[in-house]
A and B are shown apart, each in its own frame.
Chain A
Amino acid sequence: MLLDIFDPKAPPRAIGIDLGTTHSLVAFVSDECPRVIVDCNGKSLVPSVVYYGERGEVVVGDPAVSRAADEPQVTIASAKRLMGKGADDPQTRQFGPYSFIAPAPGEANVVRFAVRERGITPVEVSAEILRALKRLAEDELRSVGGAVITVPAYFDDAQRQATKDAARLAGLDVLRLLNEPTAAALAYGLESKQNGTFAVYDLGGGTFDITVLVLDNGVFQVKSTGGDSALGGDDMDRVLAEELLHLAGCEQSAQSPERIRVALDVARKVKHGLTDALEVEVENPFGVTPPTLVIARSRFEQLIEPLLARSGVACRRALRDAELSAQDLDGVILVGGATRVPAVRAFVRHLFGKEGLSGINPDEVVALGAAIHANQLAGLASSSEALLLDVIPLSLGIEVGGGVVDRILPRNTTIPAVARAVYTTQEDNQTGFEIHVVQGERELASDCRSLARFLLRGIPPMPAGLARLEITFRVDADGLLSVHAREERTGIEQAVHVKPSYGLDDASVEQMLMAAIDHGEEDLRARRLAEARTDARRMAASTEKSMAQDPELLIDGERESIERALRELERAVHGADIAALRGQIEHLDHATKAFAERRMNSAIAKALEGQAVERVEQRVEHAKGIEAAHEFKRAGVSALEDASPSE
């Protein structure tokens, strides 16, 4: 370990980050063992709280928490709940200490906290938390490479995109957005090396996820996922805070932000106390009569019952989507601090008919899984790697006639995914086609989440029903959607990375990035150049490796042209012209395209070959069985049924 610290050339290490609603943490893999990084006080959990000071200073974590009581409106907690949400989201009107600013005309439709006359988006708050975690990791590892950041499985496209934007603002190279339950399963699965079917019940600070997955020799295949991205321990605090105010005889509608903050803090303490005690008594923080407030565990359980019932609905649906029943499960993994609440454990026991597994610390397990995955993606894992086959949590579709949704990719489709659908014009001489992309399970587009709207223009006038518009949906391994539209007769095309409806556009993120870096433009340029160089080096190394691995797949003259592109790239890496460097990267990309295709086809052929061999072996076994049966017959043995191969 000492060597690590003093080695100035320590290689960059990949990290896993659990960006949670109430707290966040960062982990890495050392000697094939994942471990969380602790601060100088030995604490691993960083409260996801950001304080914005009078002179522009930003404080993250425990020091920010201590300011919350005095300056609740400029100390932002639980920003994750508002990631990727529109400015008018109902959650902004929920019981809480914050004020919000409506977007100015032309500004992106996202939530903005009112902080010292400024609008701060949840993306910026999350970026501060990520920056703090990155610093924490750098203190331990010196050099931090890429990061895997976890998101609730039930996060929609806008929420995922917002998380990615936050990482970009924080200057993190995101290797992958990974679903929290899948990360937890990875940590458990690799530890126990057990095959079987598992459910992951993840009740965090602000989100609830249920995931059903099959673990089969290192393949983690998610069968279904479901949840509620606005249900968690926070909601327990909220109902408890309202109860406390009620017991103290305060009207909850007319409370100051300070009082609400106090109520929520006391509520959280009471909740923690009730994990072991049957009754908790606290001093009345709001006045003198009554002098103390008493909450019994049974009352608390009564208050949170509706919240648990909501999680139960999602669990049953996830089981049904996986075509399984509770008895088919080999185990239920508990994740998230809120699963410490005894009523939650009892609920899980009742729902699934078995005790939940909590062998790994439920606060840390997600970050540990993320670190394992980051290590694999960075190519640092030595042992045979695990493979995660994840799914999209919500159906993706487009709005068609009558405001009805046509589902193009149903929920629980394995990612990466691609699907196409063909539509036609409804009116004569229609020259444009409006495409409204939505996400959700409801029949009507207005009841689903609007992800983006775009217009395909320039279709030549023709009678209704003649144009053929092909829409392609692609979801990458991060669960992010891109949409491509093409009119088949004219070849007019348009592609969009789905972003707009509730997200920041590239220009806004760019602006925030400039503002966040001390010397603005200059530093940003240096950072871009460094990024381009890293990309170039990585690409050169992998191209050389591929050529060494499969030289027989290179056709005449191909090696020469690729090597020429490599030399030109090498020259550009030493220069400082970002555009030229990007151009050479693209050039190499172009030169290796056909070779890459051939390599992929060869990978497919190999995989299919393995299967064919297995099938032949099965046939041989089968034949042997028949022979054996014949022999038995000749020998006059009557136990034929046992000896014959079972179909």
Chain B
Amino acid sequence: MSSDAFSILGCEPRFDIDLRHVERTYRELAKALHPDRYAQCSASERRAALERASAVNEAWRILKDPVRRAEALFALASVPVGEGKEPQPNAEFLMAMLEERETLSQARRDGDAAGVAAIAASVRKRVRSLEDRLTAGFAHGPCESRVHALVGVLGELRFCRRILSEIDEFDDFEKKGSP
């Protein structure tokens, strides 16, 4: 069984994969390989099934998440990504994010739910445009020369997603105690 997430789930290595279709393939494979189906089998079959079922689950976990999916694409293109291997996002982006963050903490202090929602919307919009760039970059497969310049996009995407998850956590905190 090949080891990259795209080939495990039988789809082309692109950013804009049809998640609904990939999920169907994932379910079929998960059904065929789930340890429950091999409960009465020999140890070697149980092990072989467990290993593959784990790999299939891992592949789906990678493909369904935009950041992990992009990381996998860069890895296929032999472009190193991850902590310390990527260039810093550009100053303009960092400034913009700093501002968003400041507005966010102000909105939090004021308990301004509408303000927080507005920031979330603006960050989501940014996420969509970053994802569009990844889609275009990987439209012809993971080719190193084409995608090298896109590493920065991945960094920005991570940044935006982190802010969004902080906003979610804030929502939790906000509603704590009252149903």
- A residues within 8 Å of B by Cβ? 175-176, 216, 219, 221, 308-309, 312-313, 316-317, 320, 347, 350-351, 376-379, 385, 387-389, 413-419, 474, 476-477, 538-539, 542-543, 546, 585, 588-590, 592-593, 595-597, 599-601, 603-604, 606-608, 610-612, 614-615
Say which residue of B43, B49, B58 sits within 8 Å of A539 (CB atoms): B43
Say which residue of B1, B58, B179 sits within 8 Å of A350 (CB atoms): B179
Q: In the complex, are the beta carbons of B44 and A377 less than 8 A apart?
A: no
In the bound complex, how far is the Cα of B10 from the Cα of A611, in angstroms?
9
Q: Which chain B residues border A316 with CB–CB below 8 Å?
A: 171-172, 175
Say which residue of A221, A376, A607 sits within 8 Å of B29 (CB atoms): A607
Q: Which of B162-179 contact A (CB under 8 A)?
A: 168, 171-172, 175-179
Q: In the complex, are the beta carbons of A589 and B44 less than 8 A apart?
A: yes
Chain A interface: which of B34-42, B88-96, B135-143? B34-42
Q: Which chain B residues border A350 with CB–CB below 8 Å?
A: 179
Say which residue of B31, B57, B177 sits within 8 Å of A414 (CB atoms): B57
Q: Which of B64-98 contact A (CB under 8 A)?
A: none
Say which residue of A415, A416, A596, A615 sits within 8 Å of B45 (CB atoms): A596
Whether B50 is near chain A, meaning CB under 8 Å from some CB there, is yes
Whether B6 is near chain A, meaning CB under 8 Å from some CB there, is no
Q: Which chain B residues border A595 with CB–CB below 8 Å?
A: 44
Q: Can you list 23 A-B pairs with a CB-CB distance of less than 8 A?
A: A308-B179, A309-B178, A313-B172, A351-B179, A377-B40, A379-B39, A387-B34, A388-B36, A414-B57, A414-B61, A416-B50, A416-B54, A418-B57, A418-B58, A585-B43, A593-B48, A596-B45, A596-B48, A599-B45, A603-B32, A603-B33, A607-B25, A614-B24
In chain A, what residue has the closest Cβ to B176? A313
In the bound complex, how far is the Cα of B28 from the Cα of A604, in angstroms?
9
Say which residue of A413, A476, A477, A542 sits within 8 Å of B41 (CB atoms): A542
In the bound complex, how far is the Cα of B33 from the Cα of A477, in angstroms?
12
Q: Which chain A residues border B24 with CB–CB below 8 Å?
A: 611, 614
Interface SS of chain A: helix
Q: In the complex, are the beta carbons of A542 and B54 less than 8 A apart?
A: no
In the bound complex, how far is the Cα of B35 from the Cα of A603, in angstroms?
13
Q: Which chain B residues border A604 with CB–CB below 8 Å?
A: 1, 29, 32-33, 52
Task: Tell me the total A-B contact number using a CB cutoff of 8 A.
Answer: 141
Known: A316-B175, A592-B44. A601 touches B34 (CB 8 A): no
Q: Which chain B residues border A610 with CB–CB below 8 Å?
A: 28
- A197 CB to closest chain B CB (Å) equals 14
Q: Which of B1-55 contact A (CB under 8 A)?
A: 1, 10, 21, 24-25, 27-37, 39-45, 47-55
Q: In the complex, are the beta carbons of B30 and A387 less than 8 A apart?
A: yes
In the bound complex, how far is the Cα of B21 from the Cα of A496, in angstroms?
38
- B residues within 8 Å of A by Cβ? 1, 10, 21, 24-25, 27-37, 39-45, 47-55, 57-58, 60-61, 168, 171-172, 175-179
Q: Which chain B residues border A317 with CB–CB below 8 Å?
A: 172
Q: In the complex, are the beta carbons of A309 and B45 less than 8 A apart?
A: no
- B155 CB to closest chain A CB (Å) equals 19
Known: A416-B50, A592-B45, A599-B48. A312 touches B179 (CB 8 A): yes
In chain B, what residue has the closest Cβ to A305? B177
Assuming A176-B39, A596-B45, A610-B28, what are 20 further A-B pairs, CB within 8 angstroms?
A219-B27, A377-B36, A416-B50, A417-B54, A418-B51, A418-B55, A418-B57, A539-B42, A542-B40, A543-B42, A589-B42, A589-B43, A599-B48, A600-B48, A601-B1, A603-B32, A604-B1, A604-B52, A606-B32, A607-B25
Q: Which chain B residues border A387 with CB–CB below 8 Å?
A: 30-31, 34, 36-37
Known: A312-B179, A387-B34, A416-B35. A546 touches B27 (CB 8 A): no
Q: In the complex, are the beta carbons of A600 and B45 less than 8 A apart?
A: yes
In the bound complex, how far is the Cα of B179 from the Cα of A195, in angstroms?
28
Q: In the complex, are the beta carbons of A600 and B49 less than 8 A apart?
A: yes
- B113 CB to closest chain A CB (Å) equals 15
Q: In the complex, are the beta carbons of A376 and B36 less than 8 A apart?
A: yes
Q: In the complex, are the beta carbons of A542 and B42 less than 8 A apart?
A: yes
Q: Which 10 pairs show the lowest CB-CB distances between chains A and B? A: A418-B54, A596-B44, A607-B32, A596-B45, A377-B39, A600-B48, A607-B28, A477-B35, A416-B54, A414-B57
Q: Which chain B residues border A347 with CB–CB below 8 Å?
A: 179
- A478 CB to closest chain B CB (Å) equals 9
In chain A, what residue has the closest Cβ to B178? A309
In chain A, what residue has the closest Cβ to B54? A418
Q: Which chain A residues border B39 with CB–CB below 8 Å?
A: 175-176, 377-379
Q: In the complex, are the beta carbons of B48 and A597 less than 8 A apart?
A: yes
